[in-house]
Structure formats: structure tokens, C-alpha cells
């Protein structure tokens, strides 16, 4: 089963992708991670990407397509794919179809995690973590059992991501809507899109995805 996970930052795509990888042996293909890995490994494509990024330019769709193709060469047909952060335009969606066809695969589902913007702002802006071990907490949903002390390691130091603020979150939401608007009709016409409540508890979201995938 090959799928695309859609949803704005904070909707839980990463959490659900990790569960699919762990429970069903799927492979998550995040273009950002692939670009960074290629640069670090200094592959021919990675060296090209590094030069482009150092020049402050955008990586072309052609290079992203090459990275995806290189990943698929090494994967057995039995391993399902999870695309995260790609495609973002109608042109990329068409390119992905071509890439999958060349590797004798097809896209089976597009799963969109729908969210309430105000609730998502609260979810994201309330996040913080232990500065020592990284244990996650939340102002409303998961405070340390002892105030000011990490449940896991006992540290008293905590941190928040600088971009976890309301203005940034709402900007990212607007960017997401602008980027996904062109590709949803492309997949809706083929009956591939399934929408689920991304604000539901993690276990419920996972169960909904499993149901969609027939797992």
C-alpha cells in the first residue's frame, strides 16, 4: 500500500507515519530528510543539492524526483510507501505518478488529517520538552507530575521551540492550505482521498488510518 499523508504542521503526520513504519513495516519518504541524507552522504545528487542550497536556490522538482527514484530502487515491492511533504504541487503529483509507474507501483490512498485551526494553535503553542532528555510535555494536556521536574530524568530545565507561537502556526496553516489546494482535486477526481479527524486521540487516528488501508 502506497499512500500520501496530508495535514498541516502539528496535525500528527510524523506520529502516524512512525506508527505505520513500526506496525506495518512501511517506509516513510520525507523529501526534507532525503535531501539532508543525500548531502550528508555526499552522493552525486547530494553534492548537487549542497551546491544549490549553498547558493540559496530552491531544489528543483527534477532533483527531488531523482532522489525518490533512487530510494525506490533499493526497496522491495512488498514494502509500502508513505510520502510526507511531497507532492506539494499539481506538477509534482503528476511526476510522482510517473516515478511510481516506472517502478511498477501506484498510489493507493491520500489520507488527509483534518484539523481545527484554533485547537491546533493551542496544541502547538502549549508544547514544551525536557532540555536534557527531550521528554514531551504540554501546558494543558501533559504537565510534569512534579512541577518543574521532568518525569523521566529529573531535570529542571525545559525548552520550547522558538517557532511554536501563534503567528508562526497560523502562517504555516495558510501555507499548507495554499500548497495542498492544487493537488487535492487531482486526487479527488481519482477517488483516492480519505479525510479523517486529525484532532482525535492518537490511537483513534491510527485506527482510522488502519481502516482506510485495510490493515
Is residue 172 among the annotated active site residues? yes
Catalytic residue among 36, 127, 170, 179: 127
Helix, strand or coil, per DSSP, at residue 134: coil
Is residue 13 among the annotated active site residues? yes
Q: 153 to each of 127, 188, 208, how far by Cα in Å?
A: 18, 47, 34
Contacts of 11 (CB under 8 A, 6+ apart): 113, 115, 120, 198
Is residue 88 among the annotated active site residues? yes
Catalytic residue among 27, 88, 109, 123: 88
Cross-strand partners of 193: 110
Catalytic residue among 170, 172, 194, 195: 172
Q: 147 to each of 119, 126, 137, 155, how far by Cα in Å?
A: 25, 15, 12, 11
Catalytic residue among 40, 106, 159, 161: 161
- Which residues are known catalytic residues? 13, 88, 127, 161, 172
Amino acid at each position: 500500500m502506497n499512500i500520501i499523508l496530508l495535514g498541516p504542521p502539528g496535525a500528527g503526520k510524523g506520529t502516524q507515519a512512525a506508527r505505520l513504519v513500526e506496525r506495518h513495516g512501511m517506509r516513510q519518504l520525507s523529501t526534507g530528510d532525503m535531501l539532508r541524507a543525500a548531502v550528508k552522504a555526499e552522493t552525486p545528487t547530494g553534492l548537487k543539492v549542497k551546491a544549490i542550497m549553498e547558493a540559496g536556490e530552491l531544489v528543483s522538482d527534477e532533483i527531488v524526483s531523482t532522489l525518490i527514484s533512487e530510494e525506490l530502487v533499493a526497496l522491495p515491492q512488498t514494502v509500502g510507501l508513505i510520502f510526507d511533504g511531497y507532492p506539494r504541487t499539481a506538477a509534482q503529483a503528476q511526476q510522482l505518478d510517473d516515478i511510481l509507474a516506472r517502478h511498477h507501483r501506484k498510489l493507493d490512498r491520500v489520507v488527509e488529517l483534518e484539523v481545527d485551526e484554533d485547537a491546533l494553535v493551542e496544541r502547538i503553542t502549549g508544547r514544551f520538552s525536557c532540555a536534557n532528555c527531550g521528554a514531551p510535555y504540554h501546558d494543558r494536556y501533559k504537565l510534569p507530575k512534579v512541577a518543574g521536574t521532568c518525569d523521566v530524568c529529573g531535570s529542571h530545565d525545559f525548552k520550547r521551540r522558538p517557532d511554536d507561537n501563534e503567528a508562526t502556526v497560523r502562517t504555516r496553516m495558510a501555507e499548507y492550505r495554499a500548497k495542498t489546494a492544487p493537488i487535492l482535486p487531482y486526487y479527488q477526481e481519482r477517488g483516492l482521498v480519505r479525510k479523517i479527524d486529525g484532532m482525535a486521540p492518537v490511537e483513534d487516528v491510527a485506527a482510522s488510518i488502519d481502516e482506510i488501508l485495510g490493515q
